[in-house]
Structure 1
Amino acid sequence: MSRFVSLLLTGLICIVALGQFVQVITRYILEVPVLGLEETLLYPTLWLYVLGAVNASRENTHIRANVLEIFLKTARQHHVLTIIGEVLSIAIASWLTYWAWDFTKYSWRVWKESPTLYLPTFYMDVALLVGMVLMMVYTVVHLVQHIRQLIKSEAQ
């Protein structure tokens, strides 16, 4: 799974970089802009952004400002603080996932299209719901791991 995710993210970033390279060459050197290139690059760019956030959630490498850890002395206190943070993250992610579900239903109902190439924007919009669901799943997995670590440390 990890290999697939890294290949997918690498592929998406290569597509975006190649598209931007083509845009710079055609627009500024050849002075012939490619019609619709910006629109088509929105799809891999948005999916790259969302799946990058999912990957950070999967690896548990989100940027954190754990100021309270400075004042905590024991490993138990650190575990409790981490569990509180994970529970708050799940609560916020649940609300955002509910919002993303409403947005996805709206996007499906309206079925908007991009202005130039008439590509359905639903396939970009659904990335938000997919990303939120996956981030919430990984947050729950990390919460369970932290609870197990807390129980294990108290048993010793």
Structure 2
Amino acid sequence: MLKKLDNFLENVENIILIITGIAVCLLIFIGAMMRYIFKIDFYGSEEIILFISFWLYFTGSAVAAKKNSHIDANMLSIFIKNQKTLQIFSLIKNLIALFIAVIVTFWCYKYVSWSADMGAASNVFKLPNIIGQIPIFISFFIWDIYLIRDLINNFKNLKTFSS
């Protein structure tokens, strides 16, 4: 069941990435065409692009967390060759990351809730700002889940070294 949920989530993430990636490119292209060829200003295009970009960037960060392909400055493997020691450091890293991610997720939730209560809207089209803030919360929530997954894998890997 978890595998089906994971596959569903990955499909949704991929659809969001494809649609938002295409939308951002098209909006920038259309804006440039209107401005430089037709001499018409696409007023408010930056606002729409910003909202769509938030979904693109933060969905991408969730995918990077899932695939463990985000930027990692781990140099320990250069200096330490013992796999058990590397797993211990990985476990510590993931514990610290989970602690920080849970705090940031809580802050994101509070921020999105506050923004919803305030009813803040964009300047041009009066779109609710929450449209661009929800993906931040979702992304960190998904990061939390993947960090828990990584911790479970760390414990499993350490258990195999102990046996």
TM-score surpassing 0.5?
A: yes
Q: How many angstroms apart in 2 are the aligned matches of 1:63 and 1:69?
A: 15
In structure 2, the residue corresponding to 1:138 is in which secondary structure?
helix
- The amino acid that maps onto 2:147 is T
Alignment of 1:71-90 (within 5 A): 71-90=79-98
Alignment of 1:37-56 (within 5 A): 37-56=45-64
In structure 1, the residue corresponding to 2:21 is in which secondary structure?
helix
For residues 92-117 of structure 1, give each alpha carbon's deviation from its aligned partner in whole angstroms, at most 9, with x where no partner exists.
10111121111011101101111111
For residues 28-83 of structure 1, give each alpha carbon's deviation from its aligned partner in whole angstroms, at most 9, with x where no partner exists.
12110112221111221011111111100011111111122222121101111111
In structure 2, runs of 5+ residues without a counterpart are 1-6
Q: How many angstroms apart in 1 are the aligned matches of 2:47 and 2:69?
A: 31
In structure 1, runs of 5+ residues without a counterpart are none
- The amino acid that maps onto 1:86 is N
Question: Is 1:128 the equivalent of 2:136?
Answer: yes
1:153 is matched with 161
1:59 is matched with 67
Question: Is 1:10 the equivalent of 2:15?
Answer: no
* 1:8 Cα deviation from its structure 2 partner: 2.2
* 1:128 Cα deviation from its structure 2 partner: 1.3
TM-score, normalised by the number of residues in structure 1: 0.93
* Match 1:98 to one of 103, 106, 110: 106
Q: How many angstroms apart in 2 are the aligned matches of 1:98 and 1:31?
A: 46
Q: How many angstroms apart in 2 are the aligned matches of 1:137 and 1:129?
A: 13
* 1:84 Cα deviation from its structure 2 partner: 0.7
* 1:7 Cα deviation from its structure 2 partner: 2.8
Question: Is 1:36 the equivalent of 2:44?
Answer: yes
- The amino acid that maps onto 2:34 is T
Count of residue pairs the alignment pairs up: 155
* Kept after mapping to 1: 8 A contact 2:76/2:86: no
TM-score, normalised by the number of residues in structure 2: 0.89
- The amino acid that maps onto 2:70 is H
Give RMSD over aligned pairs. 1.2
For residues 116-135 of structure 1, give each alpha carbon's deviation from its aligned partner in whole angstroms, at most 9, with x where no partner exists.
11111111112211111111
